[in-house]
Structure 1
């Protein structure tokens, strides 16, 4: 019995009619922050708030008369705080009055302490018991007998084991093999406590009267006065309702998660969910298809590792925000390949924690179509050289560069010699193929820094960078490129088993930042081209 008063997790207080506390256990003392000596100087009502005192007095007559009652009350703590407790009130009126009147001094715990402890344990809602080394009951309280053993008289439990009661229940209900399944589990936990000789905590569950029950159990070794191990002692709390509630909550959570997963996987967007440390904690099926990662590889992956280096700065800028507008990011697949994605980010709360959700759409196909449309708008469909309109736009940026460096550039107007007779006599198909081959040779004759465009028909424009501020040096460099072009174009062509030969006349104008009118430059180069044709063709001439 000392075990229950000393180590029980319940907060126990004993006081007679005069209200002065005569005993309390360690759990209550530690909770309110007062020592036992300090508590013994106070009345129980001093421990409660004014509102709870009124409520306590309303049930006091019934309690003193021997009726148990339960109220929820706030107890004052030494540090000024309040703690709310469910108070089970029980009393044995005559014993207390007799002790107070005879002693006429600050009351002490009665000599028949066992009766008081029995009274506390019997009225407690939890189950208390003691067993010998063979698992036979030495003591039980009412709660254990009613809830677990299905007997009315506590004396019927003495000397019997959990297995005995299990077999008796099963014999009474042979039609239901799972009518009672708690016996063996309770016996096994007893054996563990005896083996390790230390208090242990268990969660025991099984069928009692055909219904699943759960017990939160604390067991400890039981010693006699000589320190000899004689068995086990235990306290058990029925947590079935709590478990049913937890199961219901878990089922509801599972349903929500299943719905959440269904919604996640029903969208065409890839969804990534990151925790507060920017680590991936959830994703949907499209994400694995978009990036090519496995489940293990996606888990705890940093948000930045999904992007190419060129986009990480943008992500760091946008990540702390809930983006109303999506933005384009160059992402990286598992194999290292890059692709364009449209990203929209939003902060939300998931299971009580703040998370960042990315909605990602792979827009690579759209980007490819966009590039194709842009290419078609900027390039000649026959030769794939840039067209006149795009050449004019590029020329503007070239002028800006010339302004900074003041280096000379050359504009070459190239007109093919003898192309029209070939096109007329051999057909437009041969003519088109010839133009395509000429375009290839022109590109091969120029450097990456130079620009070549189809101006129209059999005419081409080339923009040459000389990287010099000396005009005579610039002309020499441009002349070398013009001669290379003439040699390339003059070489015979083989088209549909036919040999075709043509030439070219090139007009050249040299300029720097002082000349900004492209149309004027083209006219100058065109005039110089005609001068080259007057020489018999397959030659070049400078304007001016």
Structure 2
């Protein structure tokens, strides 16, 4: 081997062309050698000769002075010195993950350091190399966040293969806590997710999926009920993403499913209050108008309590409300299907074909007779009410 290949020049030539940072320091932490990469990416040195005889704190202090108002402008320097000391104390090659701000940007380095000995075995310093792993760390952090969301978040992630029978390729472990379905049981080939769909919903769900796939839809949303393994029922919302092969066949189906029960209960409750009276529980005017449009009744009778306003003034609103509730309950027991359409107004729809006016009049008179026979106890007094009716 010629002297050229043993020289400092050969080492400098190799390290200059490496994308990684390479350096050598003496036992006081001063640079003996620095390649172009560490000069450009950490020290901000003018050339590879400037670092010689200087340490990390020199370059860190100089870089901080360029932007003194920003304390996060350059935070490297001390950390480099500390890991040098740790390596020399251990007297063995070591690996570190070093990070800090360089010109205001957070940077991560994968750093390798080792004690450096001369030909006689005397310790003369430390040799090191570093690689910028900032982008790798960003991707790792994003992957960890995604993993935590998948494992413990409120959304269960599915992946089905486009093969016959739609075998499950993947399901997130949080399926047990979110949907109440055993992870191990579902991952068995003999168990299908459709097993847990409510029997009354399964045909609708399957027909919708077939329709979407025939349309070559890439995204669609479904809502349906699931039966948990403990027997309870929940509503779920299923966001589906479909990937197709070039020949048009399904390659992969991905589902993002979450428990939608609370939202459905709130919607049902809002729908209930839109169509039902809160005091009596009877359907209201809006529901009556909707039923009239759908079912086309032959007649409508509207009942109201005679002198109800005076009754409220005399006994109080709470007593008036109690009378309305009792009247509603009695009407239902009589087999009627009344609506509460106003303060003291109730309506009944009649659908019988061919009913004569006289027959209808007789039927309503029978209703009035029963209502007039009702008694209400108010302040230890028994009172009757009179009803008016218009047809």
TM-score using structure 1 length = 0.39
1:360 to partner: Cα distance: 0.7
- Taking the aligned partners of 1:279 and 1:488, their CA distance within structure 2 comes to 63
Describe the shift of the 1:477–1:489 C-alpha distance in structure 2 as closer, same or farther (beyond 3 A).
same
Quick check: 1:392 aligned with 2:289? yes
Deviations 1:24-75 (A, max 9, x none): xxxxxxxxxxxxxxxxxxxxxxxxxxxxxxxxxxxxxxxxxxxxxxxxxxxx
Note the 1:92-491 alignment, pairs <5 A: 261-275=147-161, 276=163, 277-299=165-187, 300=189, 301-309=191-199, 310=201, 311-312=204-205, 313-318=207-212, 323-347=218-242, 354-399=251-296, 409-447=298-336, 450=337, 452-466=338-352, 468=353, 470-472=354-356, 475-476=358-359, 479-480=362-363, 482-484=365-367, 486-488=369-371, 490-491=373-374
8 Å Cα contact 2:175-2:182 kept in structure 1: no
Higher relative contact order (CA 8 A, sep 6+): 2
- Taking the aligned partners of 1:485 and 1:337, their CA distance within structure 2 comes to 45
Deviations 1:167-215 (A, max 9, x none): xxxxxxxxxxxxxxxxxxxxxxxxxxxxxxxxxxxxxxxxxxxxxxxxx
Describe the shift of the 1:367–1:344 C-alpha distance in structure 2 as closer, same or farther (beyond 3 A).
same
- Taking the aligned partners of 2:156 and 2:230, their CA distance within structure 1 comes to 18
8 Å Cα contact 2:306-2:385 kept in structure 1: yes
Extract unaligned runs of 5+ from structure 2: 1-141, 245-249
- Taking the aligned partners of 1:364 and 1:501, their CA distance within structure 2 comes to 45
Question: How many equivalent pairs are there?
Answer: 237
1:444 to partner: Cα distance: 2.3
Which protein is bigger by CA-based radius of gyration? 1
8 Å Cα contact 1:325-1:344 kept in structure 2: yes
1:441 to partner: Cα distance: 1.5
Q: How large is the RMSD of aligned CA atoms in angstroms?
A: 3.4
Describe the shift of the 1:442–1:386 C-alpha distance in structure 2 as closer, same or farther (beyond 3 A).
same
Deviations 1:423-450 (A, max 9, x none): 2211111111111111222222235xx4
8 Å Cα contact 1:341-1:364 kept in structure 2: yes
1:325 to partner: Cα distance: 3.7
| SS state at 1:420 partner | helix
Extract unaligned runs of 5+ from structure 1: 1-255, 403-408, 508-524, 526-544
1:414 to partner: Cα distance: 0.7
TM-score using structure 2 length = 0.52
Describe the shift of the 1:398–1:482 C-alpha distance in structure 2 as closer, same or farther (beyond 3 A).
farther
Describe the shift of the 1:454–1:429 C-alpha distance in structure 2 as closer, same or farther (beyond 3 A).
same
